[in-house]
Amino acid sequence: MTGSSTAVAHSNIALIKYWGKVDSRLAIPATSSVSLTLDAYRTETTVEWGAEQDSVVLDGAVLSGVPADRVSRFLDLVRDLAGRSDHATVVSRNTVPTAAGLASSASGFAALAAAATSAAGLTLAPRDLSILARKGSGSASRSVFGGLAVWYAGTDDLSSYAEPLVDPGLDLAMVVAVVNAGTKEISSRDAMRLTAETSPYYDAWVSASRSDFSSMLDAIGAGDFTRVGELAESNAMRMHASMLGSTPPVTYWEPDSVRCLRLVRELRSAGAECYATMDAGPNVKILCRRPDLATIRTAVEELGVAGVTTALPGPGVRIDRATA
Ligand code: PMV
């Protein structure tokens, strides 16, 4: 039985970050996280079973080595679930610059999980799809859902999953200041392991983030944009502080990242309320409300960084085409 499916997933940016695992094989995180799926960056992936060996083409280039192995290990999970032993041809297109801290692995593994299971004839409930996607890349568990999502850390395979959060009309938007879209020097996977193993600030990060997480759920529930933004910004800074304490230090920031962070402070005091967050890369994502999007975009353009993208809440993963 062959079977082919195409799935589309969008990236997400965490407002409360995931940084550190308690179980790397199963990707059980140390802390729960909250994210916003964006409409701007997406991955479209087609999976066709019935091949002699697994192959992966990403943006027209055949993958080999570690990235290809990572996809194959993920397909092993789908083979186990579906009880099949054949291989798959995977063709994927990203509008996210790959491995630049713009959440390409989140949309990538969410799309792969949906396409590979659908093409194998499986119909997974959203929670089960989230659990599967998590094992490809932790953040992918959240890209199964649109808009705001929460990923409960849980304690084992079945209790660590994401689900959508009700948005009480926060009217969120994001301006992405692309400081450098090149590939990062150290992957988030390696950097979070290094932080957990060597940073004296890691334990402090874990306890601070746990408390940020419950405050964030309260702030979202209350529809309090100011509190949501303040928590998102300080949680991101705390995550980067834990990285700086690693040996060797993990430093994703570039001079333009700092210029963007200053701009966010200036915009805020000038009345355009916005807050910054950063991931495993130098790019700065600016959380704001939709009516302020144009003002903030113009201000970032005037700063003169490599690129500026605006985004609104995006949809969850979907199957676009499936043939038996
Ligand atoms: O799951 P990964 O390997 O994409 O790690 C994500 C790490 C951060 O983007 C920095 C934080 C997060 O929660 O998305």
What is the 279 CA–ligand 1 centroid distance (Å)?
A: 7
Q: What average pLDDT does this structure show over 222-240?
A: 98
CA angle at 72 for the pair 67 and 73, rounded to the nearest 5°: 95
DSSP-derived secondary structure for 132-150: HHHTT-TTHHHHTSSSEEE
Q: Are strands 55-58 and 87-94 parallel, antiparallel or unpaired?
A: parallel
- Which of 173-182, 190-199, 211-220 has the least mean pLDDT? 173-182
Residue 217 CB-density burial (10 A; 0-12 exposed, 13-18 middle, 19+ buried): middle
For residue 159, pLDDT over 80 is answered with: yes
- Note the pLDDT of residue 282: 94
Give Cβ neighbours of residue 207 (< 8 Å, ≥ 6 apart).
none
- Note the pLDDT of residue 97: 61
Q: Which residues pair with 38 in a beta bridge?
A: 313
CA angle at 252 for the pair 288 and 142, rounded to the nearest 5°: 55
Q: Is 8 left (phi over 0), alpha (psi -120 to 50) or beta?
A: beta
What is the best residue among 23, 96, 186, 188 to mutate for testing ligand 1's pocket, by most ligand atoms within 8 Å of CB?
A: 188
Question: Residue 177 corresponds to which amino acid?
Answer: A
H-run or E-run covering 244: helix 225-244
CA angle at 10 for the pair 226 and 220, rounded to the nearest 5°: 25
What is the 52 CA–ligand 1 centroid distance (Å)?
A: 33
CA-CA distances (angstroms) from residue 166 to 15, 35, 39?
A: 15, 12, 17
Look-up: residue for tokens 């500026």?
308
With a 6 A CB cut-off, is 193 part of the ligand 1 pocket?
no
Number of the ligand 1 atom closest to the C-alpha atom of 18: 13
For residue 99, pLDDT over 80 is answered with: no
With a 6 A CB cut-off, is 130 part of the ligand 1 pocket?
no
- Note the pLDDT of residue 98: 58
H-run or E-run covering 22: strand 21-23
- Note the pLDDT of residue 96: 66
- Note the pLDDT of residue 95: 84
Domains and CATH numbers, the chain: 4-167 (3.30.230.10), 172-311 (3.30.70.890)
C-alpha–C-alpha distance, residues 50 and 2, integer Å: 5
For residue 28, pLDDT over 80 is answered with: yes
Helix axes 126-134, 104-119, angle to 10 degrees: 120
Residue 215 CB-density burial (10 A; 0-12 exposed, 13-18 middle, 19+ buried): middle
- Note the pLDDT of residue 287: 98
Segment 283-304, tens digit of pLDDT: 999 999 999 999 999 999 999 9
What is the 101 CA–ligand 1 centroid distance (Å)?
A: 8
For residue 172, pLDDT over 90 is answered with: yes
What is the best residue among 17, 143, 212, 237 to mutate for testing ligand 1's pocket, by most ligand atoms within 8 Å of CB?
A: 17
**102 band by pLDDT with thresholds 50, 70 and 90:** low
Q: What is the ipTM of this complex?
A: 0.98
Segment 246-258, tens digit of pLDDT: 999 999 999 999 9
What is the best residue among 11, 12, 16, 18 to mutate for testing ligand 1's pocket, by most ligand atoms within 8 Å of CB?
A: 18
**103 band by pLDDT with thresholds 50, 70 and 90:** low
